[in-house]
């Protein structure tokens, strides 16, 4: 695959961006929401004064990671989870550790494949995590040795950065990592935190049977993580020269946890903490007041969720001196995924997000934070995912998250609850509407509609698109994220079908694709009310007109004066929309006026069995059914049906073997198209 490195570097969705020529790298102290709450208490001088006299072991105790010598803690760890982990670890014994070969690393540049190498590294990490937990639970030497082997395997790995993130190819043309200049990316942060937690837990036993191992961990952490973090201001995710995204809190939290667990110099820890908080403040400053995450729920867990973990650690390290619970945007951001819940495992997905939870989310995190801020709805939403008799977490989420869940007695003992499922949500910052008939019930239809811009993080060309779920199950869908390749974050990103507006539930004026970048956006003509608007937050719901009207002409390369209006309405079968009753009917009305006649089309993407019937199309999946009909200027319009046979494992895992696109041809310079979606019993 031909790579346009210059275009990659300038793209908002670029993974390994470097400052373009002439860019100012601004490292001056930043003043954002955290500074507004904490002031100079978050700066290095104050942190040094607060932490300088605290013994290193006391700081490590504040991390909440218990060493193997705390038998009282490990004896109380969730036995179901421990048994599941031990069983999987037993299957690992005697097998060779996965090979993360140079030829696999080089494939990213050679043929675009990144998943094979990433899978090998992930398998190494998960095996090490299982070994550490098995050792902590049993104190058996075989697990202590297995964990030590895993540490050596990772320390011998040429780089902790993924090939898709490593900058050696961009800087020097290498297809292998540059071991003289390690790059600090997401996985480097994950690995250093994993090794630090392993060291914290098993260190006393490794001192006895593996002298030198702990020193190796500290050497690799210094060279690969701590020194680059302290010295490289050009790392884009620090926020010194461009916008940040989920990388920021994810890496910062892991670096800080590793520093606390591995370093003995309190002054240096204070310096690293001050740098991390200054950078994190830039992330919080980009979060909108309504708490929306433009990357969607799937990235919330490894973005905003990582922010919450980092803030929790900061509060513990400072013995409560720096507490973010009262920072308004923190609480609203915590509520975001709860507000995007459609029912069961299904969520409103945007950008590179999955429509269904993957079963490995760290539910202990929102459960804990719901309690910290006193939001019973967030706690109930997390409890809705708790399954008695099932593990509290697993190895796929990483060792730090697994340990936190294991030692959280409240999460272990939590009982299931009904999810809140808010009745109406309007997040104006990203122009996302979620609407159902009654709070707390997935019965009937739910609508999620989106405006926004085509310059969002992990952007898809999805302006004006929408999702319709029946009984919580999406039937008109957003395809979501396919398997990442070299193309995904390159100048050829929008050659990927799942990211094109033509494969979203959006119009195509004159047959056009939507444009790319901040110049292409939707305009809200009229919006409904909904959470987090305090006027409706605690009320009975939306009593007024619940419609959303968007002007979409700005999403396309159309001349000034052209217009494409799309209006969404929800209600009962008779068209009325009283609050508190299930929605049985959704109407999407398109009205256009263009400078010329052309091959206009309106697309819908369906998941499930699709069949023509009664002048419309029926879509069915998981015992839920809807009928879609469309009328153009009072005349019925029948769609063309195009089947997409899926071969991407991530998409197949969500949707099954195929998706179907409904294509409505509506030529003409002006016109209207009314699409009606009705629930079938």
Which residue from 467, 479, 462, 463 is spatially nearest to 436, judged by alpha carbons?
Answer: 467
Q: How confident is the model at residue 540 (pLDDT cuts 50, 70, 90)?
A: very low
Q: Which run of H or of E encompasses 137?
A: helix 115-138
Q: What mean pLDDT is predicted for residues 114-130?
A: 98
pLDDT of residue 473: 99
pLDDT of residue 24: 87
pLDDT tens for 38-47 read: 999 999 999 9
Q: For residue 16, is pLDDT > 60?
A: no
DSSP 12-58: TT-SS--PPTT-----SPP-SHHHHHHGGGGSHHHHHHHHTTS-HHH
Number of Cβ within 10 Å of residue 170's Cβ equals 18
**HEC letters along 556-604:** CCCCCCCEEEEEEEEECCCCCCCCCCCCCEEEEEEEEECCCCCCCEEEE
Q: How confident is the model at residue 192 (pLDDT cuts 50, 70, 90)?
A: very high
- Main-chain phi, psi angles of 515, to 5 degrees: -80, 170
Q: How confident is the model at residue 222 (pLDDT cuts 50, 70, 90)?
A: very high
Q: Which run of H or of E encompasses 433?
A: strand 432-435
pLDDT of residue 23: 85
Q: For residue 135, is pLDDT > 70?
A: yes
Contact 502, 591 (CB under 8 A): no
Q: How confident is the model at residue 311 (pLDDT cuts 50, 70, 90)?
A: very high
Tell me the β-bridge partners of 212.
none
List of residues 6+ apart from 170 with CB closer than 8 A: 5, 8, 9, 16, 18
Q: What mean pLDDT is predicted for residues 600-612?
A: 99
Q: For residue 376, is pLDDT > 60?
A: yes
Burial class (CB in 10 A: 0-12, 13-18, 19+), 681: exposed
pLDDT of residue 573: 55
pLDDT of residue 18: 74
Q: Please, what CATH class does the domain formed by 424-680 belong to?
A: mainly beta
Q: Which of 26-30, 63-67, 208-212, 591-595 has the lowest mean pLDDT?
A: 26-30
Q: Which run of H or of E encompasses 679?
A: strand 670-680
pLDDT of residue 581: 86
Q: What mean pLDDT is predicted for residues 628-635?
A: 95
pLDDT of residue 629: 98
Q: What mean pLDDT is predicted for residues 665-678?
A: 98
Q: For residue 562, is pLDDT > 90?
A: yes
**Whole-number Cα distances in Å, 107 to 103, 183, 184:** 6, 18, 20
pLDDT of residue 7: 38
pLDDT of residue 572: 64
Longest CA span, the chain: 82
With the CA atoms of 514, 562, 601 and 673 taken in that order, what torsion angle do they form, in degrees rounded to the nearest 10? Answer: 130
Give the total residue count for the chain.
Answer: 681
Q: How confident is the model at residue 10 (pLDDT cuts 50, 70, 90)?
A: very low
pLDDT of residue 577: 62
Q: Which of 164-178, 190-204, 335-349, 639-653 has the lowest mean pLDDT?
A: 164-178
CA 521, distance to chain mean position in Å, is: 22
Q: What mean pLDDT is predicted for residues 189-198?
A: 99
Residue-averaged pLDDT of the chain: 94
Number of Cβ within 10 Å of residue 173's Cβ equals 9
Q: How confident is the model at residue 545 (pLDDT cuts 50, 70, 90)?
A: low
Q: 3-class SS at 454?
A: strand
Q: For residue 221, is pLDDT > 70?
A: yes
Portions of the chain given CATH number 2.70.98.70: 424-680
Please report which residue ranges of 263-363 form alpha helices under DSSP H: 266-286, 297-300, 304-317, 328-339
Contact 339, 363 (CB under 8 A): no
């Amino acid at each position: 695959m031909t790579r346009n490195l210059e275009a990659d570097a300038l793209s908002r969705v670029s993974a390994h961006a470097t400052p373009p020529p002439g860019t100012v790298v601004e490292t001056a102290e930043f003043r954002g929401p955290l500074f507004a709450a904490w002031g100079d208490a978050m700066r290095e001088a104050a942190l040094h004064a607060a932490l300088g006299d605290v013994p290193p072991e006391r700081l490590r105790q504040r991390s909440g990671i218990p060493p193997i010598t705390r038998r009282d803690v490990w004896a109380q760890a969730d036995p179901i989870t421990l048994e599941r982990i031990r069983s999987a670890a037993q299957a690992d014994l005697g097998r060779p550790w996965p090979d993360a070969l140079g030829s696999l690393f080089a494939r990213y540049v050679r043929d675009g494949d990144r998943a094979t190498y990433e899978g090998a590294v992930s398998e190494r990490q998960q095996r090490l995590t299982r070994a550490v937990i098995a050792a902590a639970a049993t104190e058996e030497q075989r697990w202590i040795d297995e964990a030590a082997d895993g540490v050596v395997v990772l320390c011998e790995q040429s780089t902790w950065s993924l090939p898709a993130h490593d900058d050696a190819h961009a800087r020097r043309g290498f297809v292998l990592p540059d071991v003289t200049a390690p790059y600090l990316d997401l996985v480097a942060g994950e690995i250093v935190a994993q090794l630090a937690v392993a060291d914290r837990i098993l260190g006393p036993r490794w001192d006895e049977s593996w002298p030198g191992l702990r020193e190796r961990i500290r050497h690799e952490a210094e060279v690969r993580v701590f020194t680059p973090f302290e010295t490289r201001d050009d790392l884009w995710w620090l926020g010194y020269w461009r916008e940040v995204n989920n990388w920021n809190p994810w890496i910062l939290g892991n670096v800080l946890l590793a520093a606390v667990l591995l370093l003995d110099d309190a002054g240096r820890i204070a310096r690293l903490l001050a740098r991390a908080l200054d950078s994190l403040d830039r992330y919080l400053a980009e979060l909108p007041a309504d708490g929306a995450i433009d990357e969607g729920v799937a990235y919330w867990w490894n973005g905003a969720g990582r922010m919450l973990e980092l803030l929790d650690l900061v509060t513990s390290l400072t013995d409560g001196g720096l507490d973010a619970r009262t920072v308004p945007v923190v609480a609203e951001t915590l509520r975001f995924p709860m507000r995007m819940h459609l029912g069961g495992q299904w969520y409103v997905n945007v950008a590179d997000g999955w429509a269904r939870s993957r079963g490995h989310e760290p539910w202990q995190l929102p459960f804990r934070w719901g309690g910290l801020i006193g939001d019973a709805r967030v706690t109930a939403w997390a409890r809705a995912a708790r399954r008695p008799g099932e593990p509290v977490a697993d190895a796929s989420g990483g060792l730090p998250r697994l340990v936190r869940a294991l030692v959280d007695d409240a999460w272990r003992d939590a009982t299931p609850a009904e999810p809140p499922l808010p009745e109406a949500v309007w997040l104006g910052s990203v122009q996302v509407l979620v609407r159902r008939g009654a709070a707390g019930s997935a019965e009937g239809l739910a609508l999620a509609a989106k405006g926004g811009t085509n310059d969002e993080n992990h952007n898809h060309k999805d302006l004006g698109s929408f999702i319709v779920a029946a009984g919580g199950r999406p039937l008109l869908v957003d395809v979501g994220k396919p398997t990442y390749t070299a193309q995904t974050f390159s100048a050829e990103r929008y050659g990927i079908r799942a990211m094109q507006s033509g494969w979203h539930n959006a119009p195509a004026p004159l047959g056009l694709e939507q444009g790319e970048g901040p110049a292409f956006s939707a305009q809200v003509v009229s919006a409904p009310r909904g959470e987090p608007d305090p006027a409706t937050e605690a009320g009975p719901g939306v009593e007024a007109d619940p419609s959303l009207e968007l002007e979409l002409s700005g999403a396309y390369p159309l001349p000034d004066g052209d217009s494409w209006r799309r209006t969404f309405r929800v209600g009962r079968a008779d068209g009325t929309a009283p609050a508190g009753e299930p929605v049985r009917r959704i109407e999407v009305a398109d009205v256009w006026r263009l400078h010329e006649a052309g091959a206009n089309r309106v697309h819908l993407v369906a998941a499930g069995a699709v069949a023509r019937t009664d002048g419309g199309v029926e879509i069915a999946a998981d015992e839920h059914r809807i009928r879609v009909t469309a009328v153009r200027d009072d005349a019925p319009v029948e769609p063309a049906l195009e089947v997409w046979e899926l071969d991407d494992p991530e998409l197949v895992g969500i949707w099954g073997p195929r998706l179907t696109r409904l294509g409505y041809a509506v030529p003409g310079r002006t016109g209207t198209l009314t699409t009606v979606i009705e629930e079938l019993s």
